[in-house]
Amino acid sequence: MRRPEGGWQGKRVVLGVTGSIAAYKAVELARRLTQEGAQVQVVMTRAATRFIAPLTFRELTYREPLVDLFDPPPGELMRHVHVAEEADLLLIAPATANILAKMAAGLADDLLTCTFLATQAPVVVAPAMNRIMYLHPATQENLAKLARWGVVAVGPEWGPLATGIEGPGRLASIDQILAAAAEAIDRGQGLVQWAESADLKGVRVLVSAGPTREAIDPVRFLTNRSSGKMGFAVARAARARGAEVTLVTGPVALADPPGVRVIRVESAAQMRAALLEHFLQCDVLVMAAAVADFRPRQQAPAKIKKGEHQEGLRLELERTEDILTELAGQRAPHQVLVGFAAETNADLAQARAKRAAKGVDLLVLNDVLEPGAGFESETNRVTLLHRSGQAEPLPLMSKEAVAHQILDRVVQLLATSGPTS
Ligand code: PMT
């Protein structure tokens, strides 16, 4: 489990719980944080108390959950300011569409919304709601607005919801929420500081993610194991640092990151077209997609019948365009380019040659055979290869943390790149 540097011991976490069917999962969150040594102060909305009894949280956190704004214990004034000032982190899980709307509107009509407005601690929300409510433009705009302010959203996940229908809206896993919370504590920035110091504010970042699908016939295709998690993490992290982000992604089962323009494509040719269209307007390109290197030379117009190929089927493949090399050939002096390399052996000499051949400023090398790294995992272990030839190995960390490491280098590269056109 990802923990803050120095662990959870003594960290003061305000855990906001709102009125969602997923409220019962906040019990496990409170239990895990308390077990790890955090001081957990639960703040519940009135609606949350209809789903779960405050008593449950009191028994697990050894603290009385707070609900009422106007009912302070004897000797305590201005409860919201007190709770807000004490916090190292405000974590709202589950976060309903309603609380997100109130936060985005700056309303302060209960203890939790007052705490949000009065805190200088980092804020993490874990949305959970019905699929239609989540996809509603109102909710998406509220999430985008909150992301612009520096609120970190974790999830929701794609999966079966309380209604039985599949879609985005399910609360992220407890491990994911704890990892996002730990990262937020380590970054240590509240929204007010964030607004003052977002280091990619106004920078236009183009990110690619996921696999591509190369059609064999209308029902079959060639693809690879990319889940899109790495590229989506880069898009989320860039957005959280104030960038204007466009994400071009192949087919993945991930919900759109709030505040990010998402373009969904299938094939390498479609990914190339989308990236070419947006490349000239970007300041930074981060190419995390696992683009197919080969595609069937011909796509059968109808389903290939196995009965007609008793001896087996021979597919002829042709090379796809190398998108990154093509884009690098068109780059303007101010643009910063980051490529990835998925290798099954971390050969630094080969990787250095690949960085030079691709014409990028930074190459992120991952050995995809290493446990916890590369495709599909929540974590990654990468080596950053710089123009100077320097190889900078990073320890195993979440893909979100890798994304921030990459963006830290991008900020440095932007400072030394040519003038912005
Ligand atoms: O999506 P996840 O499950 O989170 O997994 C993350 C990841 C393993 C996909 C990611 O970390 C990663 O390594 N992405 C690059 C994968 C890849 O295609 O590597 P490559 O060595 O084949 O390509 C090198 C670079 O050229 C990459 O930036 C790639 O996007 C780009 N490329 C490749 C082929 C092609 N036809 N056009 C390209 O632009």
What are the pLDDT digits (tens) for 10-30?
A: 999 999 999 999 999 999 999
Q: Of the residues 142, 224, 366, 380, which is catalytic?
A: 224
**Ligand 1 atom closest to Cα of 366?**
13
What's the gap in Å between 278 CA and the centre of ligand 1?
19
24 CB within 6 A, ligand 1:
no
CB-based contact 267:254 (threshold 8 Å): no
Closest ligand 1 atom to residue 210 Cα is 1
| 12-197 and 204-415 in the same fold | yes
Protein residue with its CA nearest to atom 20 in ligand 1: 341
Say whether 224 is catalytic.
yes
pTM of the model: 0.70
What whole-number distance in Å separates Cα of residue 387 and Cα of residue 352?
Answer: 9
Cβ of 228 closer than 6 Å to ligand 1, yes or no, is yes
Cα dihedral 382, 234, 188, 100 sign:
negative
Rounded distance between C-alpha atoms, residue 296 and residue 294, angstroms = 7
Residues 93 and 15: beta-carbon distance below 8 Å? yes
pLDDT digits (tens, 9 = 90+) for 194-250: 776 678 988 999 999 999 999 999 999 999 999 999 999 999 889 888 899 999 999
Instruction: Indicate whether 192 pLDDT > 80.
Output: no
Q: Please tell me if the CB atom of residue 340 comes closer than 6 angstroms to any atom of ligand 1.
A: yes
Q: Is the pLDDT of residue 51 over 80?
A: yes
Distance 107 CA to ligand 1 centre (A): 43
For residue 3, report the distance from its CA to the centre of ligand 1, in Å. Answer: 29
Q: Where are the domains of the chain?
A: 12-197, 204-415
Question: Residue 339: CB within 6 Å of ligand 1?
Answer: yes
H or E element at residue 328: helix 323-328
Q: Residue 419, exposed/middle/buried by CB under 10 A (0-12, 13-18, 19+)? A: exposed
Q: Is 293 in the pocket of ligand 1 (CB under 6 A)?
A: yes
CATH architecture entry for 204-415: 3-Layer(aba) Sandwich (3.40)
- Please give the CATH topology (third level) of the domain spanning 12-197: Rossmann fold (3.40.50)
pLDDT digits (tens, 9 = 90+) for 313-355: 999 999 999 999 999 999 999 999 999 999 998 789 999 999 9
- Residue 3: name the closest of 175, 241, 237, 194 by CA: 175
What is the band of 33 on the pLDDT scale with cuts at 50, 70, 90?
very high
Residues 43, 83 contacting (CB under 8 angstroms): yes
Answer whether 324 contacts ligand 1 (Cβ < 6 A).
yes
Which ligand 1 atom is at minimum distance from the Cα of 399? 4
Span 168-189, mean pLDDT? 90
Q: Is the pLDDT of residue 420 over 50?
A: no
Q: Is pLDDT of 407 > 60?
A: yes
292 CA: nearest ligand 1 atom: 36
With the CA atoms of 191, 197, 199 and 203 taken in that order, what torsion angle do they form, in degrees rounded to the nearest 10? 80
